[in-house]
Amino acid sequence: MARAAVVLMLLALIACKPPAPALDPAAESIAHEFFDDVARGANLEAEPHLAHELKNPTSEQEITEFKSMIPTEPYRSMELRSSQTKTDSTGTTTSLMQVYHYADKELVVQTALFKSPSGVDPVIVGFKVEAHDEGT
């Protein structure tokens, strides 16, 4: 009997847990568009979804290094491997992991986006690319 009560309490707590924040519908497309812009060497100063704080020589150098990892051939496919959204009083932070598949490797791209409560679209506040042999 006590065991049933504990199970019922746990189920009640799970049912009362607030739902995880939903993924901003614009986040994935903004991250994907930014990856394409980096791949083709677009002007980062003109990037509307890149946070102002990342428009500096250090970040531009890092993004240039990431660009050098991106093959000139088109990717075969892209998948959203994971996403996480966290909302607090300052706004919503979204972390995405997208994987771009090429003939001989895959690029794991992590993008962090932030949207203030008054914001229309999220802006990119972090970007990282890692290369792996295809299938690893």
> Each residue of 15-62: pLDDT tens digit?
555 555 677 889 999 999 999 999 999 888 899 999 999 999 998 899
What is the arithmetic mean of pLDDT over 116-131?
Answer: 92
CATH code, 22-133 = 3.10.450.630
Phi, psi of 107, deg, nearest 5: -110, 125
Q: Where are the domains of the chain?
A: 22-133
Q: What is the pLDDT of residues 64-83, one digit of tens each?
A: 999 999 999 999 999 999 99
Cβ atoms of 78 and 32 closer than 8 Å: yes
Angle in degrees, 0-180, between the axes of helices 27-39 and 57-69, rounded to the nearest 10: 80
Q: State the Cα–Cα distance between residues 74 and 29, nearest whole angstrom.
A: 17
**Average pLDDT value for the chain:** 86
pTM above 0.75, yes or no: yes
